[in-house]
Structure 1
Amino acid sequence: MQPTVPNQTKEKIIEAAIALFNTQGFNGTSVREIAKKANVNVAHISYYFNGKGGLLEYLVSKYYEGYLSVIEEGYIRLSHETPKNCLLLLIQDILNYQHYNRQLARFVLREVTLDSTLIREVMTTYLTKEKYFLKAILEEGIKTGYFRKAPMVHILVQLKSLLNMPYLQTQYMTEVLYIQTHETYFVKQYFHEIEIWIDHLLCEPAQKEAIV
């Protein structure tokens, strides 16, 4: 049997932590349980992450670094796409990113609802930048006549709720609504429903056409 190389050890810890944090919660999971599930020595968690708190910080940062990259790349499209297409393409990218990282997304989005020093830092960095880019796209849409004037804060609240709901309320989606958010088809269908929402709520009558 070949020994586990350092990068593999780190990835095994990450995968085990995400799985356990999702099923048992962060506070309900011990370092020893993570090490056991990852089949590594407990000391490796201290070595790579400086303990469970460091592991939490790493996972939250890992998720939002990737998430913000998606947001920033989507915003760049505003230079050559209409605001509506820019917003729709960005939403599509966000849904795909969340779906690909669905276990991590589920855990991180749940943690963001709690109050802690780490989460307050997330709010003032990653989520403040997210607001800036989304708001800029929406304001450009209003300025150019693609979107009607609407209370910006309320629009952002509704949009964020739509994007987060499938991963923040996974059990509700599965057990009550019988929607399988882990299935590939879900992203395509859900995006179509958000597109309808944007047409109905945001778009001026002349702009209510499908994405091109």
Structure 2
Amino acid sequence: MTQENTRDTKQKIVNAAIYLFNSKGFTGTSVREIASRANVNVAHISYYFKGKGGLLEYLVSYYYEGYLKVIEENYTQIKFGHAYSVLSKLALDLLYYQHENRQLSRLVYREVTVDSVLIREVMTTYLTKEKYYLKSLFEQGIEEGQFRKGFVPHMIIQLRSLLHMPYLQPQYMSEVLHIQPHEAYFVHQYYKELKIWLNSLLAEQTTKENRLVAIP
């Protein structure tokens, strides 16, 4: 099998797994169902991913590596600007990352709520790093006088909740709030609301008028 065929086979398995894990749940999905939807031999799943558990581990790790890359790339800009501008851009880029990977985002965020060895490892590696970067940004913003003094863990929880809500509860977003996370305009629309929250909660000197300025 050529390298191109290998990539194609693995991608078909990944796409099938994301769809089935989302629609039927991880425990409710069999390896044979994944192979059937991907139109590949069952043995390929074992060969490339060491089975269904290895496939889920691959999906979670792949997602969080990209997620952390977005955070790290933004965090490096702190030496060139203020914490507020860095945090605003970071939030926008994470919204775009989630939107571009929306089915995988939904799957990963749901799986993170399940207590397992895999998820404990994710917490220890990826999410501990996320906490470090966000905590540093909030603390620097407070030190610079751009953010109000507050309990930083609460700030982190609120920001993460706003960022992840559309993919943790997509039905609530669409049926109750009438916001469609799958639509192309979603990121720009939702970012405006998130910026209002950032301004009202964090910005020390922001006036009421400035909080409602349209986002470019």
In the superposition, the TM-score normalised over structure 1's length comes to 0.95
Q: Distance between the aligned counterparts of 2:126 and 2:17, measured in 1?
A: 22
What is the deviation of 1:176? 2.7
Indicate the residue corresponding to 2:84 in structure 1.
84
Indicate the residue corresponding to 2:132 in structure 1.
132
Contact 2:166-2:173 within 8 A present in 1 as well: yes
Structure 1 SS opposite 2:10: helix
Q: Unaligned 5+ residue runs, structure 2?
A: none
Q: Distance between the aligned counterparts of 2:156 and 2:205, measured in 1?
A: 21
Q: Which amino acid aligns with 1:129?
A: K
Q: Which amino acid aligns with 1:114?
A: V
Structure 1 SS opposite 2:185: helix
Tell me how many residue pairs correspond in the alignment: 209
Indicate the residue corresponding to 1:181 in structure 2.
181
Q: Distance between the aligned counterparts of 1:95 and 1:81, measured in 2?
A: 21
What is the deviation of 1:174? 2.0
Q: Which amino acid aligns with 1:62?
A: Y
Q: Distance between the aligned counterparts of 2:120 and 2:206, measured in 1?
A: 41
Structure 1 SS opposite 2:148: coil
Indicate the residue corresponding to 1:15 in structure 2.
15
1:106 equivalent in alignment to 2:118? no
Q: Unaligned 5+ residue runs, structure 1?
A: none
Indicate the residue corresponding to 2:71 in structure 1.
71
> Deviations for 1:116-159, whole angstroms, at most 9, x for unmatched residues?
01001111110000000011111111001111101111111111
Q: Distance between the aligned counterparts of 2:74 and 2:205, measured in 1?
A: 25
Structure 1 SS opposite 2:139: helix
Q: Distance between the aligned counterparts of 2:178 and 2:12, measured in 1?
A: 31
Q: Distance between the aligned counterparts of 2:206 and 2:19, measured in 1?
A: 47
> Deviations for 1:96-122, whole angstroms, at most 9, x for unmatched residues?
000000000000000001100100111
Identity %: 62
Contact 2:84-2:141 within 8 A present in 1 as well: yes
Q: Distance between the aligned counterparts of 1:33 and 1:179, measured in 2?
A: 32
What is the deviation of 1:206? 4.6
In the superposition, the TM-score normalised over structure 2's length comes to 0.93
Q: Which amino acid aligns with 1:43?
A: A
Indicate the residue corresponding to 1:119 in structure 2.
119
